[in-house]
Chains A and B, each alone.
Chain A
Amino acid sequence: MYVLGVETSCDETSVSIVKDGKFVLSNVVLSQIEIHKEYGGVVPEIASREHVKGITYVFDKAISEAGINFEDIGLIAVTKGPGLIGSLLIGVNAAKVISLNYNIPIVGVHHIAGHIYANYIDNGMEFPLLALVVSGGHTELILMEEHYDFKKLGETQDDAVGEAYDKVARILGLPYPGGPIVDKKAALGKDTMKFPRPMVDSGDFNFSFSGLKSHVINVHHNMLQRHEDVNIEDFCASFQEAVTDVLVSKTIQAKNMFDVKQVIVAGGVAANSGLRRKMKERITDIPVYFPKMAYCTDNAAMIASAGYFQYLKHQKADDLFLNGQSRLNLEG
């Protein structure tokens, strides 16, 4: 079955055609990152306007690159949330127009389900599996016992991990987005600062990065007050070591408790080289999969793949009252 995926939850306008949840015929992504860069993050109203400008072009390009017609599509899968509400609505409404016009069933997909299914495209899935979802807006551990079955084991109680990276970058005077640049600097430094590993022994699967953020800011502030030189590379390395230690350690605890067959890492922070290395070093008994870089950031192929399995599992499409939702529970 050809599935048309649509993703506009943040600053990427993307449409994709994926066959049977796995074979990507086209995956067109129009990124707005250059536009938002000067504001230090995505600005909702600008994002909505850019989606409006780009959406028709992206639809047409995805169809023509896939070499099919709208009539060939068996299902439309669109991100319904969570995300920026104005941005979500552009994708949802465009998808509904195609659904109505060509009489194709439509399903609203959870954005995080998409990130998890990004892994299915290249690596397949074996259950039970554990997914660590890490991005600018999310830090969650999810257990899957079968396709499209999500059990949230724990999540961040305050800041998401990607956000902590952005904020630490801001303190150090590094540009947005903070993740890639801190990762790059960290590779050149050493863990000299010994920052705390928050909640590493909390006995549950929740995370907290706000305390670490405050601690890091405080240490930086005190160093400046004492006119000490801040070694940016060591500072980044110390922060990255603390963060990845917590992420990997909690993932291992969950992996052992639920006896899973594979671990997958999903979301934008899955691109972090320190996290990739530490996961692979410390988990050697079962496979650890990361999506390829093109599927780490937001894209519609992952939504098409997730939508396919959602439709198979529930055998049910949404109606045209389908709407965008800024906050949305994955399990619900």
Chain B
Amino acid sequence: MEIKLRLNSVKDTEILAKIISEKVFKGMIIGLKGDLGSGKTTFTKFFSKNIGVRDNLNSPTFTILKIYDGNHPLYHMDVYRLEDIGYDYELDEFIYGDGISVIEWYPYINKMLPNELLSIDFRVIDEQKRDVVIKGEGIYEEVVKTISHRYSN
């Protein structure tokens, strides 16, 4: 299932993150893509607060992976640098672990990801506005349905 939403401001990103955070489960994988500055880390920041992460979440670009304690462990990754390699086996135990993985630039490591995940594609419309395409099959279809339902009301 796939839906498209318009986020008019950072407040809308916050709402979207909250809706998704209410549907989290053990081992959930959220893949994010979109240009630099399109809101991937901003989304993750709001998402982290809503799943009980107290520490300030900041960019994982430098270390590729940052781990946070929350209601579930949160593994926040930025795999931009792996574009030409396509994998990093050190990430395996996290992606296939019990926590929740949020992976920025996930298409770059597609071959080491499971077939099913929740993907969010950010597109910059202007300084404030973003269009997002949210996709999820299998166990993730339910999450997309919930989002769709909340936005149609």
Residues in chain A near residue B127, CB distance under 8 A: 214-215, 218
For the complex, give the distance between the alpha carbons of A210 and B67 in Å: 20
Select which of B41, B45, B81 is within 8 A of A43 by beta carbon: B81
Select which of B62, B65, B85 is within 8 A of A39 by beta carbon: B85
Among residues of A, the one whose C-beta sits closest to the C-beta of B85 is: A43
Contact check, B63 vs A163: say whether CB atoms are below 8 A apart.
no
Select which of B56, B64, B88, B124 is within 8 A of A157 by beta carbon: B56
Contact check, B81 vs A156: say whether CB atoms are below 8 A apart.
no
Residues in chain A near residue B56, CB distance under 8 A: 155, 157
Number of interface residues of B (CB under 8 A): 28
- How far in angstroms is the closest Cβ of chain B from A171? 7
Contact check, B82 vs A210: say whether CB atoms are below 8 A apart.
no
| Interface residue stretch chosen among A26-34, A60-68, A83-91 | A83-91
For the complex, give the distance between the alpha carbons of A86 and B68 in Å: 18
**Contacts A84-B63, A137-B63; A167 near B36 (Cβ below 8 A):** yes
For the complex, give the distance between the alpha carbons of A162 and B63 in Å: 13
B58 at the interface (CB under 8 A from A): yes
Residues in chain A near residue B90, CB distance under 8 A: 44-45, 48, 85-86
Taking CB atoms and an 8 Å cut-off, the chain B residues in 27-59 that contact chain A are 35-37, 41-42, 45, 56, 58-59
CB 8 Å contact bits of A211-222 with B (1 = contact, 0 = none): 001110110010
Among residues of B, the one whose C-beta sits closest to the C-beta of A82 is: B63
- How far in angstroms is the closest Cβ of chain B from A70? 31
For the complex, give the distance between the alpha carbons of A180 and B40 in Å: 27
A327 at the interface (CB under 8 A from B): yes
Residues in chain B near residue A210, CB distance under 8 A: 37, 41-42, 59
Contact check, A136 vs B62: say whether CB atoms are below 8 A apart.
yes
A160 at the interface (CB under 8 A from B): yes
A42 at the interface (CB under 8 A from B): yes
- How far in angstroms is the closest Cβ of chain B from A185? 19
CB 8 Å contact bits of A97-138 with B (1 = contact, 0 = none): 000000000000000000000000000000000000000110
For the complex, give the distance between the alpha carbons of A199 and B80 in Å: 27
A158 at the interface (CB under 8 A from B): yes
B66 at the interface (CB under 8 A from A): yes
Contact check, A158 vs B58: say whether CB atoms are below 8 A apart.
yes
Contact check, A327 vs B37: say whether CB atoms are below 8 A apart.
no
Contact check, B37 vs A218: say whether CB atoms are below 8 A apart.
yes
Contact check, A163 vs B62: say whether CB atoms are below 8 A apart.
yes
Residues in chain A near residue B36, CB distance under 8 A: 167, 170-171, 213-214, 217
Contact check, A39 vs B84: say whether CB atoms are below 8 A apart.
yes
Among residues of A, the one whose C-beta sits closest to the C-beta of B68 is: A327
For the complex, give the distance between the alpha carbons of A163 and B66 in Å: 15
Residues in chain A near residue B42, CB distance under 8 A: 158, 210
Contact check, A39 vs B81: say whether CB atoms are below 8 A apart.
yes
Contact check, B58 vs A43: say whether CB atoms are below 8 A apart.
no
Among residues of B, the one whose C-beta sits closest to the C-beta of A212 is: B37
For the complex, give the distance between the alpha carbons of A136 and B63 in Å: 9
**Contacts A157-B56, A210-B42, A218-B37; A41 near B63 (Cβ below 8 A):** no
Taking CB atoms and an 8 Å cut-off, the chain B residues in 9-42 that contact chain A are 35-37, 41-42
**Contacts A41-B81, A43-B88, A44-B90; A213 near B58 (Cβ below 8 A):** no
Binding site for A on B (CB under 8 A): 35-37, 41-42, 45, 56, 58-59, 61-68, 80-85, 88-90, 124, 127
- Extra pairs beyond A155-B56, A158-B45 (15, CB < 8 Å): A40-B81, A40-B83, A43-B81, A43-B82, A86-B90, A156-B58, A157-B56, A157-B58, A160-B62, A166-B61, A210-B42, A213-B36, A221-B124, A327-B66, A327-B68
| 4 nearest CB pairs, A to B | A214-B37, A137-B62, A41-B81, A217-B37
Binding site for B on A (CB under 8 A): 38-46, 48, 82-86, 136-137, 155-160, 162-163, 166-167, 170-171, 210, 213-215, 217-218, 221, 326-327
Pairs A–B under 8 Å by Cβ, sample size 10: A39-B81, A41-B61, A44-B90, A48-B90, A158-B41, A162-B62, A163-B59, A170-B36, A214-B36, A326-B66
